[in-house]
């Protein structure tokens, strides 16, 4: 999984075997917790889930950002790969569409990564580099898709982060209906980006009942 000598940007010295094991358990636990609860999950809850002491967590990851960077490095790498693959697509519009759907699905699948993608977190260099490379590949794709005449001429690469922020907003607040609502949003956005006759939206309209299930995540200390 991690063959490179230095990972997560931090040139940590060689760890003792038990420390290495704990580190892996922490990342694994954090992956699960962040995925379900988003980045607002507390360090203590992650330590508990990992079965290690709080001090161990903080020794390995001095700030929450360090942990976030370590946890989502591979997801950001998947994002980069998706962008590079989309760029190779012969039909730029198909590539554009596939990439946008993929990255939004990555968000829908993981509340934590949704937030990472939605905000310019002061994350590790490696992560930001992958993000940047994905963005550049996407920008090339945008130019080609416009040249094909399939993408709105006034679309710009910077519209992607806006869509990611919007999608993250839906996912954060839509509760049970989040996956469905997200697909609906993305479908409508892509339809708006396209030039030419509209295609039907794939997902069914969200029932009002599901939207009623929207939840407030304000801490209700009681």
- Long-range Cβ contacts of 205-210 (<8 Å, 24+ apart): 206/177, 206/180, 206/181, 210/175, 210/176, 210/177, 210/180
Apex CA 111: angle with CA 107 and CA 112, to 5°?
A: 100
Pick the piece of the chain touching DNA (CB under 7 A) from 2-10, 47-55, 68-76, 103-111: 47-55
Structure tokens at 26: 């922490």
> Could you say which of DNA, a copy of itself, none residue 212 binds, taking C-beta under 5 to 8 angstroms by partner kind?
a copy of itself
Distance (Å, whole) CA 194 – CA 196? 6
Counting contacts by CB under 7 A, is residue 221 touching DNA?
yes
- Report what 11 binds from DNA, a copy of itself, none; CB cut-off 5-8 Å by kind: none
169 binds a copy of itself (CB under 8 A): yes
Contact flag: residue 51 with DNA (CB under 7 A): yes
The DSSP code for 199 is P
| Cβ neighbours of 13 (radius 10 Å) | 4
Residue 166 touching a copy of itself (CB under 8 A): yes
Q: Could you list the residues that contact a copy of itself (CB under 8 A)?
A: 39-40, 64, 118-122, 152, 154, 156-159, 161-163, 165-170, 172-174, 181, 184-185, 188-189, 191-193, 195, 198, 200-201, 205-208, 211-216, 218
């Amino acid at each position: 999984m991690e063959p490179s000598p230095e990972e997560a940007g931090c040139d940590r010295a060689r760890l003792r075997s038990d420390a290495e094991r704990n580190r892996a358990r922490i990342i694994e636990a954090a992956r699960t917790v962040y995925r379900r609860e988003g980045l607002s999950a507390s360090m203590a809850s992650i330590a508990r889930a990992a079965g290690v002491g709080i001090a161990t967590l903080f020794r390995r990851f001095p700030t929450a950002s360090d942990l976030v960077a370590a946890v989502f490095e591979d997801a950001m790498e998947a994002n980069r790969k998706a962008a590079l693959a989309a760029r190779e697509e012969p039909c730029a519009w198909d590539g554009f569409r596939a990439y946008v759907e993929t990255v939004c699905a990555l968000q829908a699948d993981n509340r934590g990564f949704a937030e990472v993608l939605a905000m310019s977190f002061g994350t590790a260099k490696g992560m930001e580099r992958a993000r940047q490379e994905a963005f550049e590949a996407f920008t090339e794709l945008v130019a080609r898709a416009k040249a094909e005449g399939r993408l709105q001429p006034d679309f710009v690469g910077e519209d992607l982060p806006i869509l990611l922020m919007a999608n993250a907003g839906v996912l954060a607040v839509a509760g049970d209906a989040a996956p469905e609502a997200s697909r609906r949003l993305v479908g409508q956005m892509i339809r708006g980006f396209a030039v030419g006759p509209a295609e039907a939206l794939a997902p069914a309209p969200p029932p009002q009942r599901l939207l009623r299930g929207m939840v407030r995540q304000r801490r209700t200390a009681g």
